[in-house]
């Protein structure tokens, strides 16, 4: 067995992050005139739409602040984070406090979703930025909005989504993950205690999505973890389950709970085994647990972010266990992703490949792809590889 | 030039409709126990989801009633139409009169959209069925709901969709098409007069979506027909523009307006020229008019329905003009569609192919595919071919 070459990957990831990814966003996304970021960027960085999508405004603020807080006190990063944070604080919320989904270039509201994910990323942004600038008032806004987030996510009527009598109660992996992520973020670095119960509850809810008899993780289950008999109830989103897996693994590492650690590792491994396309390589976007055709037209496509999540998840699993197969999986996904998604000539990664692995879209950023998944997995992996070298 | 073989196509289309398509739905979709139709059907007709999607319940009622009213007084068709019509009349609307998007198998409400398309298909269903059973009360329900439809489609706030200040007013091809389609349906067979002004207004609005300088048809334009500078404003949906084209062509045929006829033919031809994939064949689902990456992940896929629309549109254009190129386009799309979508062994058509023309989904029906586009184009084409033979 070849030794795991942590140093080789560390160098690869540092170069990718600092030479090919962050420069792309700093060069092309900053809107110096109106504030905030352009995120709809073509392969070479040309702006093809000036809409300001709040998920991505917030994620970029979080990412740049995180880089500043953890990798290097680089003033260019902080200043770019400020450009976005001031924009979202000024234009991002409506009079009831809800966060818009999209704004015009100038910051005028365009669309609001009946979901709480825009709020999730907004809270993350404010919290991480508040640490970079040591501003307690911004932190306070984040904490207060999290209270609303929990209220709203428990009661969709407050978001304008009618509850109809045929609907079955369900647990959504996305919602449980979001709650865990925010609670972990807000509690990081000292004030974790008040968030402990919510973190533990979210971890329990996430683990309900494991179906051990079938060795799968489902996106939606009944609140008691039993199966929902519908396409939503059979839906697997392997990238998302892998992401949830490494999140729970971090919590298990902190708490030292061996059973939770084992279950987190299963989430990662099962989802990868089911999700990997043995024919053409890459991780499918969606699958139906019973093998029926997934409802999503794009189920067979290979998206950048599940690969980002899988790389960090397997690195984390390998470091935790030392088991060779996790290192092998890590190498397998790194090879696939760096040879197909990465675009060193222009920077950043392609987002969307067909089943065979060819780009279907030349864009580097769009309404759902921005300065987030690629730099996040690189930053996290660099931190871990540094400990392993 | 080979003579156009109307007789050959008439035979092909009749066999497809009567032996491969309608039998599939009659055999697999009727829910004798709870009423209504199963539309989520696998390749061989197995039900993989019992959700009753209202678009498809209504479309199937319309289709079966239309077959009964225009092709043959077949009692099996009428009886199957009744099964659906009684179900949607009993369960399809909420207390405010809006039509749900989806129901459980038993008819309990699951979801309601902030759009009026469920209403559109419901009106169509009731009107066509009312003719089959000569029931004026059902017709009256359709007429009354159309009044609401017009009110709601003019004011999205009534649908629960907030109007935000950054939004630009826009004309949607889908909405103008729906209004034209319903007005045409309700006015068919005698009572056309009250619908004339709306038909003419809808035709004018549809034709605003033509951009002659670029020889394209756009899905969304400003209310005065000028360009909207955004991905939505650059969006082309060639199948949809072709469908709108043959609709307008029928209106021009009735009114005898030569200028409108010319513009309708341009809509069809331009959209096909831009939408045909010269590399792998088939009509793309979405395109960006300026060549930027379309926002839709599935833009490159080949869906069944644009091909259905194109076949009938070119047949209609050829009959109207006698111009050979329309007959050639017709043959080109028939060849592509019958060799890839049609599945004579099990019946009905595949719905979704990858860019290369291979099925990505084995299903014959889903939340957006039911007993509608394939039998509709076959029925319409048969009617036209009969006149040509």
DSSP A316-352: HHHHHH--HHHHHHHHHHHHHHHHHTB-TTT-SB--E
Residue range A18-64, pLDDT digits in tens: 999 999 999 999 999 999 999 999 999 999 999 999 999 999 999 99
Residue range A16-26, pLDDT digits in tens: 999 999 999 99
Same domain? A288 vs A221 = yes
Q: Do B165 and A109 touch (CB under 8 A)?
A: yes
- Which of B108, B231, B297 minimises the CB distance to A298? B297
Residue range B289-302, pLDDT digits in tens: 999 999 999 999 99
A164 at interface of B, judged by CB pairs closer than 8 A:
yes
Among A121-135, A150-164, A277-291, B43-57, the least confident range = A150-164
Residue range A203-216, pLDDT digits in tens: 999 999 999 999 99
Q: Where are the beta strands (DSSP E) in chain A?
A: 40-41, 47-49, 52-53, 102-103, 109-111, 171-172, 210-211, 216-217, 220-221, 235-236, 287-288, 302-303, 352-353
Residues of A in contact with B166 (CB under 8 A): 103-104, 106, 108-110
pLDDT confidence of residue A2 = 65
Is B167 inside any structural domain?
no
Same domain? A300 vs A190 = yes
The answer on pLDDT for B1 being more than 50 is no
First-to-last C-alpha distance (Å) of chain A: 18
Same domain? B368 vs B293 = no
Residue of B nearest to A366 (CA): B295
Residue of B nearest to A231 (CA): B49
Q: Do A297 and B300 touch (CB under 8 A)?
A: no
- Which of A162, A297, A355 minimises the CB distance to B112? A162
Is A163 inside any structural domain?
no
**What is the dihedral sign for C-alpha B55, B58, B61, B65?**
negative
- Which of B230, B354, B363 minimises the CB distance to A293? B363
Is B120 inside any structural domain?
yes
A104 at interface of B, judged by CB pairs closer than 8 A:
yes
B111 at interface of A, judged by CB pairs closer than 8 A:
yes
Q: Do B51 and A230 touch (CB under 8 A)?
A: yes
pLDDT confidence of residue B190 = 74
pLDDT confidence of residue A181 = 97
Residue B261 belongs to domain with CATH number: 1.50.10.10
**Angstrom distances, CA of residue B147 to CA of B75, B123, B200:** 32, 10, 17
Same domain? A370 vs A341 = no
A40 at interface of B, judged by CB pairs closer than 8 A:
yes
A159 at interface of B, judged by CB pairs closer than 8 A:
no
Residues of A in contact with B162 (CB under 8 A): 112
B255 at interface of A, judged by CB pairs closer than 8 A:
no
Residue among A103, A360, A366, A370 with most chain B CBs within 10 A, to mutate: A360
Residue among B41, B44, B46, B48 with most chain A CBs within 10 A, to mutate: B48
Mean pLDDT within A271-299:
97
Residue range B74-126, pLDDT digits in tens: 999 999 999 999 999 999 999 999 999 999 999 999 999 999 999 999 999 99
- Which of B160, B166, B367 minimises the CB distance to A295? B367
Mean residue pLDDT across chain B = 97
Same domain? B282 vs B146 = no
Is A67 inside any structural domain?
yes
B165 at interface of A, judged by CB pairs closer than 8 A:
yes
Beta bridge partners of B356: none
Residues of B in contact with A42 (CB under 8 A): 292-293
Domain count across chain B: 2
State percent of chain A over pLDDT 90.
96
- Which of A48, A100, A354 minimises the CB distance to B292? A48
Is B165 inside any structural domain?
no
Residue of A nearest to B169 (CA): A110
Q: Do A363 and B293 touch (CB under 8 A)?
A: yes
Show the tokens assigned to B300: 């490159």
Same domain? A343 vs A365 = no
Same domain? A204 vs A335 = yes
B359 at interface of A, judged by CB pairs closer than 8 A:
no
Pairing status of strand A102-103 against strand A302-303: unpaired
A277 at interface of B, judged by CB pairs closer than 8 A:
no
First-to-last C-alpha distance (Å) of chain B: 18
Three-class DSSP category at A36: coil
Same domain? A314 vs A214 = yes
| Alpha-carbon dihedral angle through residues B196, B202, B205, B207, given to the nearest 10 degrees | -80
Residue B283's pLDDT band (cuts 50, 70, 90): very high
Same domain? A52 vs A142 = yes
Smallest Cα distance from B62 to chain A, Å: 24
- Which of A106, A294, A367 minimises the CB distance to B295? A367
- Which of B111, B166, B301 minimises the CB distance to A109? B166
What span, in angstroms and rounded, lies between the C-alpha atoms of A296 and A356?
18
Is B162 inside any structural domain?
no
Expressed as residue numbers, the domain containing A9 is 1-156+359-389
Same domain? B177 vs B241 = yes
Same domain? B88 vs B220 = no
Is A161 inside any structural domain?
no
A252 at interface of B, judged by CB pairs closer than 8 A:
no
Residue range A322-358, pLDDT digits in tens: 999 999 999 999 999 999 999 999 999 999 999 999 9
What span, in angstroms and rounded, lies between the C-alpha atoms of B103 and B89?
13
Q: What is the DSSP string of B37-59?
A: B--EE-TTS-EEE--EEHHHHHH
- Within 8 A by CB and 6+ apart from A151, the residues are A158
B42 at interface of A, judged by CB pairs closer than 8 A:
yes
Establish whether this prediction's ipTM goes over 0.85.
yes
Nearest of A21, A65, A5, A1 to residue A351 by alpha carbon: A21
Mean pLDDT within B14-33:
98
Mean residue pLDDT across chain A = 97
Residue range B251-272, pLDDT digits in tens: 999 999 999 999 999 999 999 9
Residues of B in contact with A51 (CB under 8 A): 230-231
Residues of A in contact with B300 (CB under 8 A): 354, 360
What span, in angstroms and rounded, lies between the C-alpha atoms of B348 and A328?
45
Residue A1's pLDDT band (cuts 50, 70, 90): very low
Is B168 inside any structural domain?
no
**What is the dihedral sign for C-alpha A130, A133, A136, A138?**
negative
Q: Do B363 and A294 touch (CB under 8 A)?
A: no
Residues of B in contact with A112 (CB under 8 A): 162, 164
Q: Do B294 and A352 touch (CB under 8 A)?
A: no
- Which of B109, B160, B355 minimises the CB distance to A165? B109
Mean pLDDT within B228-241:
97
Per DSSP, B99 falls in state B
Same domain? A226 vs A147 = no
Give per-residue burial for B166-198: e unless 16+ CB within 10 Å, then b.
beeeebbbbbbbbbbbbbbbbbeeeeeeebeeb
Residue among A91, A168, A293, A364 with most chain B CBs within 10 A, to mutate: A293
What span, in angstroms and rounded, lies between the C-alpha atoms of B210 and B202?
14
**Angstrom distances, CA of residue A214 to CA of A230, A239, A259, A274:** 17, 18, 19, 10
A-B C-beta contacts closer than 8 Å: 98
The answer on pLDDT for B65 being more than 80 is yes
């Amino acid at each position: 067995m070849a030794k795991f070459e942590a140093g080789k990957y560390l160098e690869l990831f540092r170069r990718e992050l600092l030479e090919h990814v962050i420069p792309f966003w700093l060069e092309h996304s900053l809107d110096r005139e109106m504030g905030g970021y352009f995120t709809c960027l073509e392969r070479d960085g040309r702006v093809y739409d000036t809409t300001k999508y709040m998920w991505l405004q917030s994620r970029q603020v979080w990412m740049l602040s995180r880089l500043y807080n953890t990798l290097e006190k680089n003033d260019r990063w902080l200043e770019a984070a400020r450009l976005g944070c001031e924009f979202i604080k000024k234009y991002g919320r409506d009079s009831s406090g809800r966060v818009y989904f999209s704004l015009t270039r100038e910051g005028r509201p365009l669309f609001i979703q009946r979901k709480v994910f825009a709020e999730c990323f907004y809270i993350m942004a404010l919290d991480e930025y508040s640490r970079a600038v040591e501003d307690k008032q911004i932190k306070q806004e984040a904490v207060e909005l999290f209270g609303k987030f929990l209220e709203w996510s428990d009661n969709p009527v407050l978001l304008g989504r009618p509850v109809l009598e045929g609907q079955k109660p369900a647990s959504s992996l996305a919602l449980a993950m979001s709650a865990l992520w925010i609670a972990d973020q807000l509690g990081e670095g000292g004030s974790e205690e008040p968030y402990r119960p919510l973190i533990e509850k979210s971890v329990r809810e996430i683990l309900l999505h494991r179906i051990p008899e079938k060795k799968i993780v489902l996106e939606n289950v009944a609140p008691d973890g039993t199966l929902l008999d519908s396409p939503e109830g059979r839906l697997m989103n392997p990238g998302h389950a892998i992401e949830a897996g490494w999140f729970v693994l971090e919590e298990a590492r902190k708490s030292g709970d061996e059973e939770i650690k084992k279950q987190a590792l299963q989430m990662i491994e099962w989802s990868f085994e089911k999700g990997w396309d043995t024919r053409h390589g890459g991780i499918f976007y969606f699958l139906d647990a019973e093998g029926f055709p997934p409802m999503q037209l794009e189920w067979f496509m290979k998206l950048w972010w599940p690969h980002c999540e899988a790389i960090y998840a397997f690195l984390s699993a390998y470091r935790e266990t030392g088991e060779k197969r996790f290192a092998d999986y890590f190498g397998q996904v790194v090879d696939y992703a760096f040879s197909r998604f990465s675009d060193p000539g222009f920077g950043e990664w392609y987002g969307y490949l067909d089943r065979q692995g060819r780009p279907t879209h030349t864009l580097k950023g769009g309404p759902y792809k921005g300065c987030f998944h690629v730099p996040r997995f690189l930053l996290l992996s660099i931190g871990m590889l540094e400990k392993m070298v």
